[in-house]
């Protein structure tokens, strides 16, 4: 399963309280450095589970963005580290077509994307992409697209009250019936019921949905 370090970092800092004094600043910086180091080492090691050849990549080299962040900007420094880490990691270890396809799906939920179109964009055959996608993520591409659309809908409705029809269109559904069906199957409730949840419960559901995409 894919773990997007930038998405994970954004979700992580979103739930962290701001530091209110120098001591808390120091604690927050230390905690984020520890998380960054552990995530970086884990992701890099994961790429070498079957390939033990030395690659020259230093997982700690990108920590400078976090180390040099000004007081009160530790969260921003953590997000900058995640961006730099992902860029450098995949520069040394090229991303597979399946992983690139997943990024496109998550970023473009409002656009109709299928194996043929994605394969053309990525320069591979549709058959190869379908097989690689299942091998990487454990689900067929259409199911991944469905989950990505519902996640985007959950995030949109949690951010501000909106008409269900508008959200459905924004995330790529032309049929309200199809949107309701997918939403109920994946979220376990109707869109209307979701919008009535307490913020903490809504956030927990969104976090669980995010885990189905990594």
Residues of the chain with CATH 1.10.10.60: 96-214
Element (H, E) at 101: helix 97-107
Contact in structure between 212 and 147 (CB atoms under 8 Å): yes
Write down the pTM of the prediction: 0.60
Q: pLDDT tens string for the chain (214 positions)?
A: 456 788 888 889 888 988 888 888 889 989 999 999 998 888 888 777 645 456 778 878 888 777 777 777 888 889 989 988 888 887 787 778 888 898 889 888 888 889 999 999 888 899 999 998 898 889 999 999 999 999 999 999 998 888 999 999 999 998 999 999 999 999 999 999 999 999 999 999 999 998 888 7
What residues have CB less than 8 Å from 169, skipping those under 6 apart? 110
List the CATH code of the domain at 96-214. Answer: 1.10.10.60
**Residue closest to 192 by CA, chosen among 207, 200, 180, 204:** 180
CA distance 77 to 72: 10
């Amino acid at each position: 399963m894919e773990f997007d370090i930038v998405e994970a970092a954004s979700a992580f800092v979103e739930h962290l309280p701001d530091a209110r004094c120098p001591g808390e600043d120091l604690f927050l910086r230390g905690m984020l450095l520890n998380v960054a180091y552990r995530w970086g080492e884990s992701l890099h090691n994961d790429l070498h589970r079957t390939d033990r050849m030395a690659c020259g990549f230093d997982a700690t080299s990108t920590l400078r963005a976090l180390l040099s962040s000004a007081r009160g900007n530790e969260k921003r420094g953590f997000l900058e580290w995640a961006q730099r880490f992902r860029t450098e990691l995949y520069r040394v270890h090229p991303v597979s077509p399946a992983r690139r396809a997943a990024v496109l799906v998550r970023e473009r939920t409002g656009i109709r994307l299928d194996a043929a179109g994605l394969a053309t964009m990525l320069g591979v055959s549709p058959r190869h992409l379908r097989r690689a996608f299942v091998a990487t993520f454990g689900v067929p591409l259409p199911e991944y697209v469905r989950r990505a659309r519902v996640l985007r809908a959950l995030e949109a409705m949690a951010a501000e009250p909106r008409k269900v029809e508008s959200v459905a269109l924004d995330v790529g559904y032309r049929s309200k019936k199809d949107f309701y069906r997918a939403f109920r199957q994946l979220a376990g409730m109707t869109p209307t019921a979701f919008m009535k949840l307490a913020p903490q419960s809504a956030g927990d559901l969104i976090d669980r949905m995010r885990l189905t995409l990594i």
